Amino acid sequence: MPATRLDGKKIALEIRAEVAKAVEQFVAEGNAPPKLAAVLVGEDPASQVYVRNKERACEKTGIASQLDRLPASTSPTELLERIDQLNRDPSVNGILVQLPLPQPTGDGPALDERAVLDAVDPIKDVDAFSPINVGLLMQGRPRFLPCTPHGIVQMLHRCNIATAAKHVVVVGRSEIVGKPMAMMLAQKDGSCGPETANATVTIAHSRTKNLKEICLSADILIAAVGRPEMIRGDMIQPGAVVVDVGINRVEDRLVGDVAFDEAAEVASAITPVPGGVGPLTIAMLLHNTLLAAKLQAAK
């Protein structure tokens, strides 16, 4: 029996409607609409598309947004200065510095991604990339949850896919997806999302020995390696749930980290690319922007 498609786009629209309603309520209580400031350095075409999509999503949710476009030649000092201004601007609730930052132009100094992310005020850190927010998550008392793993948690929950006592294999150990995803699913209680915890989690990656055997033991397989179609059908346990986080551009086509057609013959449920995890990431960014506004209003 072919796998059920987990429709991330549809779930994202549900979440966005919920956030829009909560924003309306927040404003009705006398608050200014939440505001997201996105910083885009350079002209990476994929980043331009993402940032535009985020702005459009904000607009439809009643969230204000502003976009700072800085040239690829921006110096580290200038960028840090700009972030500092946004940190101090009381009208800005959330700050997102679009990644990746561009390579240095000419012989100027490189922009240090870590230093830039560290500069964002943790209470405006809607990506949850700052060490404070990562630390709070590790300790099971998160403030902001990182958008992509949180979107996946929400999707599993809303599709009635329980994680308790399941073996989840996360392929990929990035700071943005793999690492926090693993922590969130292994949490003891519901601190990272409703009924989505208590999994037994294995983190695998490009240097894992016996990757195929480990993947075959997964009840839930989360692919976040950034290698097009690396997870093949013969690496999936029959009936497993497959979540594909990969967004790879191959000859003008978007493909995931999972070979979709092969995987869909074996899995019980699978996320498509596009229309799977990507839209959920944006929905959770909106959620975090409202949360940021609420935290700041309460201060």
Q: Is 187 noted as a catalytic residue in this protein?
A: no
Q: Which member of 36, 41, 96, 223 binds ligand GUE (CB under 6 A)?
A: 96
Instruction: Decide: is 274 part of the binding site for ligand GUE (CB under 6 A).
Output: yes
The letter for the amino acid at 238 is P
- Which window, 20-28, 67-75, 90-98, 286-294, contacts ligand GUE (CB under 6 A)? 90-98
Does 174 count as an annotated binding residue? Answer: yes
- Which window, 65-73, 91-99, 107-115, 153-161, contacts ligand GUE (CB under 6 A)? 91-99
Contact assessment for residue 167 and residue 24, using Cβ atoms and an 8 Å cutoff: no
Q: Which member of 13, 72, 99, 162 binds ligand GUE (CB under 6 A)?
A: 99
Closest of 273, 185, 274 to residue 221, by C-alpha? 185
Give the shortest CB-15-to-ligand GUE separation in angstroms: 13
Placement of tokens 């927040």 in the chain? 26
Give the shortest CB-247-to-ligand GUE separation in angstroms: 5
Does 172 count as an annotated binding residue? Answer: yes
Q: Is 118 noted as a catalytic residue in this protein?
A: no
Beta carbons within 10 angstroms of residue 221's beta carbon:
28
**Following DSSP, what letter does each residue of 23-69 receive, concatenated?**
HHHHHHTTPPPPEEEEEEES--HHHHHHHHHHHHHHHHHT-EEEEEE
Q: Which of 98, 154, 187, 237 is catalytic?
A: 98
Instruction: Decide: is 204 part of the binding site for ligand GUE (CB under 6 A).
Output: no
Give the shortest CB-177-to-ligand GUE separation in angstroms: 9
Give the shortest CB-212-to-ligand GUE separation in angstroms: 26
Placement of tokens 């922590």 in the chain? 183
Q: Is 9 noted as a catalytic residue in this protein?
A: no
Q: Which member of 6, 11, 15, 50 binds ligand GUE (CB under 6 A)?
A: 50
Give the shortest CB-107-to-ligand GUE separation in angstroms: 26
Closer to ligand GUE by Cβ: residue 241 or 255: 255
Buried b (16+ CB within 10 A) or exposed e, 50-63: bbeebbebbeebbb
**Following DSSP, what letter does each residue of 197-234 receive, concatenated?**
---EEEEE-TT-TTHHHHHHT-SEEEE-S--TT-B-GG
Placement of tokens 């195929």 in the chain? 212
Query: For the window 210-249, what string marks contact with ligand GUE as x by the rule CB under 6 A?
Result: -------------------------------------x--
Of the CA atoms within 13 Å of residue 55, those in its CB half-sphere come to: 15
Active site residues: 54, 98, 127
